[in-house]
Chains A and B, each alone.
Chain A
Amino acid sequence: MSAEADRPAVAPVATGQPRSGLLDLAIRYGFLALLLGLVLFFSVFAEGFSGPRSAVFIFQSVAITGILALGVTCTLVVGGFDLSIGSVATSAMMLSAYVMVVLEMGAGAAIVACLLMGALIGVVNGLLIVKFKVPDLLATLGMMFLLVGLQRIPTEGRSISTGMTMPSGETANGVFSPFFLAMGRHRFDVVLDNLVPISVVFLIVIGILVWCFLELTRHGRLMYAVGSNERAAALTGTNVNGYKVLAYVISGVLASVGGMLLAARLGRGDIASGTNLLLDAVAAALIGFAVLGAAKPNAFGTAMGALFVGILLQGLTMMNAPYYTQDFIKGAVLVVALVFTFALSARRAGGDG
């Protein structure tokens, strides 16, 4: 909020000093330039990288973490943090599989159950934080462990798939409904036949919705206000607690959407802690701080951050880089992005003063 307010004041100073203007340019567009450079690099050196199909599966590879990252962005906006999103996603995956395979109900029931679960977890997280004053990291950490355990209780730690033997000795005969599976597998014809999978459409639509909500609506602006100065926001009559709970509900619901897409892609309920989903999503949101020199959580940055990681990983895989170099590079990108955000932005702010 404050960085935003400072910006008009910066402009005259920047025009007076070319070096600072260059810095400003680097902060604003450096990351996007890096992204473009990366695309060019891989297009030249990685065979098969350029083309609509590659573009689509890069989007697809980041769709689920991207959706989770948009959720965590909302909690970052109100000055919070949601560590439970990974386990919310895997719990939604298990829940949807349980509803369809074990309870033998349809896709509608599975989707409603997952969305309700996501919202409920969001409400509980929010209430723990605003009513019981548990610090956000600790509340959502507790929720993460709770969910990792809870999702395994109904099947005694087994993965869920059609034909599985239940703890009672019975066989589960339900199947994933074709409609539900289509969420992970159906493709729309755009330019080429069967090009764009639904998960990518989900990512783009959710990305636009979250961006509009945060940037264009009064509620979104107030959420930023809560995040930047809670007391000031409260004194102007903002329902601080309400907005905080709302942020966790958005986060929980988006995580459960991610979990459903995961279940639809895998076609079964997989035992997984979701830690990697959490870490990748958080990394995308943090990298997003650096995009356009925002130095704050923002939906466009998050989407670009997710895409950046996706392009890097898919490009490296195409060039046959082993898995540990990928973790290394992911870490390096995050560190560089954080330097962009904190050091350079701080220097810019310092230059003003």
Chain B
Amino acid sequence: MNTTRRTALAMVAGLALAGTGTGAAAQDMPAPFDNPSEVRIALVRYLSTGDFFQAYLSGVERQAEALGVDLRVFDSRQDAALQADMVDQAIALGVDGIVIQHGLTESMREAAQRAVDAGIKVVAFDVNVENEAIPQIEQSDFLLGKLALEQAIEDNGDSWDAGYVYVPGIAPLDRRHAAWEEIKAANPGIREVAQMGTLDNPIANSNANQARSVLQANQTISVFFAPYNEFAKGVKIAVDEAGLNQDVSIYSADVSTADIAAMREPDSAWKATVATNPAVVGEVSVRALAIMLAGGDPGAQVIVPPTLITQDFLNENDITNMEDLSAKMPQFAHADVAMTDWMPLPPR
């Protein structure tokens, strides 16, 4: 426990000390990690292109490196049948653990069961393989939406007219939508006067056009809930073009370097966003698997909590990109879930 605290502290301060902490912890690790180079794990991916998935992979790689285990990456490039075959490949390779990253329930259910039957420990990120032996790693999209809305209520009171951006049928957006429904039900003063949204790309441009109409038609809107950063970017363009940046506040989810710049523009309408660091989700996935390999139980659901990022925080700490954000906001750089007292953390 002491070691963890020290490691965490070192990390929080952003000191290189974390590296030595890792080395010290490695000696105390339980079997099979007393000889980590003999441990082989596989990451079987369904989705891989884009900033989010790239960052997730880097988190998996970093945590695997901190543990000292041998990581194999299988990338099915959105081919569901191939992904199932890759699980079989990993079984044939004799890996000790598998992280399944996304995929379809129908195609992965049997493959995951075969891995479990072969005595392999398995965790799944953002795909339900309907198997009690397999813990689910999740980023909580519901909390993502809820934290943003709670900030909106804190800033604007509990009585306002809202514009809302939503495209049904996209799983994370549907989960964020549940938070919006809950907040609306709990606060009768909050009125959704307009709903819009499109995924036509470039997404920001298409949503800017729509939001411009919505703002024109509904001049009472003082809060825009746009729970996806591309949506928020589009709404911000429309708000700026309408000259309403002092009158409308935007609350969103997800964050990128470009978003940080947009939030920090003078008089920016984009007041807050809530995000989970995909790299942290990657680290948590590997840690949960490591706990299982050591004979522990990470729980049926491992939820990586999201972080609230406000405009004021960005300005006060002069944050310009994602690296700054991780350094200044420790809870964004590390989630204290799937932790044990022996768990080594990646150096930061």
Contact = CB atoms under 8 A, between A and B. Distances in A.
B209 interface: yes
A164 interface: yes
Given A57-B241, A276-B206, A48 B257 contact: no
A313 B261 contact: no
Nearest to B53: A157
Interface in A149-170: 157-159, 161-165
A270 B50 contact: no
Question: When A and B form their complex, which 9 residue pairs have the shortest distance between CB atoms, in order from nearest?
Answer: A161-B258, A318-B217, A61-B209, A317-B213, A163-B321, A276-B200, A272-B202, A272-B201, A48-B217
A276 B213 CA distance: 19
Nearest to B202: A272
Interface string A264-292: 01111010111110000000000000000
Contact of B258 (A49, A164, A318): A164
A304 interface: no
A267 B322 CA distance: 18
A262 B202 CA distance: 9
Contacts of A164: 257-258, 321
Given A57-B241, A317-B210, A323 B51 contact: no
Interface residues of A, number: 45
Interface of A: 46-49, 53-54, 57, 60-61, 64, 90, 93, 157-159, 161-165, 171, 185, 194, 197, 262, 265-268, 270, 272-276, 313-315, 317-320, 322-323, 326
Given A60-B212, A60-B241, 15 more contacts: A49-B216, A49-B217, A57-B241, A157-B51, A165-B322, A265-B208, A266-B204, A266-B205, A267-B262, A272-B203, A317-B196, A317-B214, A320-B196, A322-B195, A323-B196
B167 interface: yes
Contacts of B320: 163
A270 B229 CA distance: 13
- B interface SS class: helix
A189 to B, nearest CB: 13
B233 interface: yes
Contacts of A267: 262
Contacts of B203: 272
A221 B194 CA distance: 48
Contact of A266 (B50, B202, B209, B214): B202
A159 B201 CA distance: 13
Given A157-B54, A163-B321, A165-B321, A268 B258 contact: yes
A171 B261 CA distance: 14
A46 B210 CA distance: 14
Contacts of B219: 48
A318 B51 contact: no
A161 to B, nearest CB: 3
A265 B323 contact: no
Contact of A194 (B51, B217, B243, B256): B243
B164 to A, nearest CB: 10
Given A53-B216, A165-B322, A266-B205, A323 B257 contact: no
Contacts of B261: 161-163
A64 B205 contact: yes
B202 A270 contact: yes
Q: From B167, B194, B196, name the one whose CB has the most chain A CB atoms within 10 angstroms.
A: B196
Given A61-B209, A265-B208, A317-B196, A165 B202 contact: no
A57 B213 contact: yes
Contacts of A158: 51
A60 B205 CA distance: 11
B237 interface: yes
Contacts of B216: 48-49, 53-54, 57, 318
A265 B201 contact: no
A157 B49 contact: yes
Contacts of B49: 157
